[in-house]
């Protein structure tokens, strides 16, 4: 028994509120030249746990980064890149690398990583065509998703991320693969199957263009396939959640607005000032300027309301009623269709014949920053799909939110699962404790018991995670004070 896959998400590398971005205590400025204490301690804990779990095999697991790893909405791309390199230095030093491979699934805050990859893929496709000058040559449209299961012979690589990590001598030939928006992994016998998705499509705001088009053209019906959903919404997601950090001073201003949204006085003032500035810049005279300003103000308030009421801001429960509805809709709709198409193709079955389903399916997502595990009876799937949420690493409130935190989800070679709950925010520093938790409707599996015993009863591993918990408690306190000061400035 060994750890085969490790899944992390929502690291938001480069954002100053992330525990994994190094923040100087003295003046709250970023120090991108060194790893944050939490990032270093996280890698130390993972390395020791994996080394003991896989002892005697020499095998290293595959790391799956499940979205919002780089912060491209609220940080400059150079800052996010530097902090990503600090992560690589901690996780992949020469002769002590934790992982054998990395698969990167972009989310909403790093959606542009996907855009870069798919555009590079399309350019390579065009370069590889030798018949484009022929009069009857047909050029395919760009692809908006990857296949659910990666082609091991021809995986899609991230030219951008590989351009970063290959600066290290031990990673000269390392290949970070990319999948979007869903990644499926099957056990060798086909009995177990895991689906990874960042989680943004669980919330309706990320399908805004689909909803808008349905409003403009009533009765047209929403797209059912994931590639059509992405085709309609990719520009919207990329613009608002994945490019703002590269917009100079405007990007910095958007970060202030984003953080001030929960504070009504600051929010109203910022939106009003932004609308006034933008309408003046447009140079429209008279009534046109007034109408444009009012429309823009209504639109920004619409966005603000959605963000304020987003799943990350709901702190009463791990998954709100709206997000739960969105999760079921996503799983029973586009994910199920993509899974059935993939299984039919692999089993050589026609479209009108239902393929043989795996006996056990697990779904892993993040995005909400609220780690949890559950079992759901999604229609069309085997009874009781194990669901894990990996949480996140960003401090978003001055007050501690006990429901906010992070997990790492682990799988063995047969895709049995468990999670290490790394932390939940707490007022009492002694409450920061690492736990091993599984989705348990089907009963405990041997892999879960193996990891639980390893983490809780191996002194050297216990010590690593205890040190990690201390560093997290300190870092949360520092980020909360930093956020309080920023919000105070935005209200002035």
Residues 174 and 321 in one domain: yes
Kindly list the strands in the beta sheet with 177-178, ordered across the sheet, starting from the edge strand earlier in the chain: 177-178, 101-105, 62-66, 5-8, 405-411, 417-424, 435-437
Confidence check: pLDDT of 51 > 50: yes
**Number of domains within the chain:** 2
* Residue-wise pLDDT tens digits, 439-485: 977 777 899 999 999 999 999 999 999 999 999 999 999 999 988 88
Residues 140 and 204 in one domain: yes
Q: How far apart are CA 329 and CA 33, in angstroms?
A: 43
Domain closes at, from 274, 291, 309: 309
Q: Which DSSP helix (H) or strand (E) runs through 325?
A: helix 321-330
pLDDT band of residue 320 (cuts 50, 70, 90) is: confident
Q: List the domain range (segments joined by +) for residue 285.
A: 243-309
Cβ–Cβ under 8 Å, residues 116 and 70:
no
Report how far apart, in Å, the C-alpha atoms of 185 and of each of 4, 148, 191, 354, 366 are.
11, 8, 11, 20, 17
Q: CB count, 10 Å around CB of 246?
A: 16
Q: What is the pLDDT of residue 310?
A: 59
Q: CB count, 10 Å around CB of 137?
A: 10
Domain closes at, from 286, 309, 332: 309
Residues 293 and 321 in one domain: no
Cβ–Cβ under 8 Å, residues 88 and 167:
no
pLDDT band of residue 309 (cuts 50, 70, 90) is: low
* Residue-wise pLDDT tens digits, 151-198: 887 889 999 999 999 999 999 999 999 999 999 999 999 999 999 999
Q: Which DSSP helix (H) or strand (E) runs through 5?
A: strand 5-8
Q: What is the pLDDT of residue 292?
A: 47
Residues ≥6 apart with Cβ < 8 Å to 277:
none
Residues 152 and 202 in one domain: yes
Determine whether 58 is exposed, middle or buried from the number of CB atoms within 10 Å of its CB (0-12, 13-18, 19+).
exposed
For 126-138, what is the mean pLDDT?
Answer: 92
Within-domain flag for 233: no
CB contact burial 317-353 (16+ within 10 A = b; e otherwise): ebbbeebbebbebbbebbbbebbbbbbbeeeeeeeee
Confidence check: pLDDT of 284 > 50: no
Q: What is the pLDDT of residue 490?
A: 60
Residues 327 and 301 in one domain: no
Residues 337 and 302 in one domain: no
Residue matched to tokens 């040190």: 467
pTM of the model: 0.90
Specify the DSSP class assigned to residue 331: I
Q: What is the pLDDT of residue 290?
A: 44
Domain closes at, from 287, 309, 331: 309
Residues ≥6 apart with Cβ < 8 Å to 208:
233, 236
For 29-33, what is the mean pLDDT?
Answer: 90
Q: What is the pLDDT of residue 288?
A: 47
Within-domain flag for 232: no
């Amino acid at each position: 028994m060994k750890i085969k896959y490790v899944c992390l998400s929502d690291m938001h590398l480069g954002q100053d509120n992330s525990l994994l971005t190094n923040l100087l205590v003295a003046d709250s400025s970023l120090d991108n030249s060194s790893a944050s204490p939490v990032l270093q301690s996280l890698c130390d804990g993972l390395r020791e746990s994996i080394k003991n779990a896989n002892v005697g095999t020499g095998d290293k697991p595959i790391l799956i980064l499940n979205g919002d790893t780089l912060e491209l909405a609220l940080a400059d791309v150079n800052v996010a890149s530097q902090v990503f390199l600090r992560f690589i230095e901690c996780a992949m030093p020469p002769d002590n690398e934790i992982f054998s491979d990395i698969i990167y699934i972009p989310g909403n805050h790093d959606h542009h990583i996907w855009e870069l990859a798919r555009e590079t893929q399309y350019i390579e496709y065009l370069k590889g065509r030798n018949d484009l000058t022929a009069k009857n040559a047909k050029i395919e449209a760009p692809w908006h998703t990857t296949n659910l299961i990666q082609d091991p012979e021809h995986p899609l690589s991230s030219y951008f991320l590989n351009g970063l990590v290959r600066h290290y001598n031990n990673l000269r030939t390392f290949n970070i693969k990319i999948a979007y928006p869903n990644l499926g992994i099957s056990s060798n016998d086909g009995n177990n199957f895991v689906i990874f998705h960042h989680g943004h499509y669980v919330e309706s705001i990320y399908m805004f263009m689909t909803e808008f088009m349905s409003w403009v053209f009533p009765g047209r019906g929403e797209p059912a396939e994931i590639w059509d959903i992405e085709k309609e919404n990719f520009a919207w997601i990329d613009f608002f959640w994945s490019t703002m950090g590269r917009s100079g001073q405007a990007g910095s201003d958007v970060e202030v607005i984003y953080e001030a949204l929960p504070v009504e006085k600051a929010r109203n003032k910022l939106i009003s000032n932004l609308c006034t500035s933008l309408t003046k810049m447009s140079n429209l005279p008279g009534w046109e300027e007034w109408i444009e300003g009012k429309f823009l103000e209504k639109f920004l308030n619409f966005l603000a309301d959605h963000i304020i009421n987003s799943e990350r801001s709901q702190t009463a429960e791990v998954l709100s009623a709206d997000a739960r509805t969105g999760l079921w809709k996503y799983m029973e709709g586009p994910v199920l269709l993509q899974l059935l198409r993939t299984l039919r193709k692999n089993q050589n079955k026609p479209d009108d014949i239902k393929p043989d389903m795996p006996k056990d399916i697990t779904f892993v997502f993040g995005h909400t920053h609220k780690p949890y595990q559950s079992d759901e009876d999604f229609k069309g799937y085997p009874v009781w799909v194990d669901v894990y949420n990996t949480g996140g690493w960003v401090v978003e409130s001055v007050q501690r939110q006990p429901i906010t935190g992070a997990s790492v989800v682990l799988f063995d070679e047969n895709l049995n699962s468990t999670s290490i709950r790394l932390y939940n925010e707490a007022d009492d520093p002694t409450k920061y404790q690492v736990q091993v938790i599984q989705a348990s409707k089907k009963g405990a599996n041997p892999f879960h018991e193996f990891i639980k015993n390893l983490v809780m009863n191996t002194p050297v591993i216990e010590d690593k995670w205890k040190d990690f918990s201390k560093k997290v408690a300190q870092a949360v306190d520092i980020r909360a004070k930093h956020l309080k000061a920023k919000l105070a400035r935005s209200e002035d």
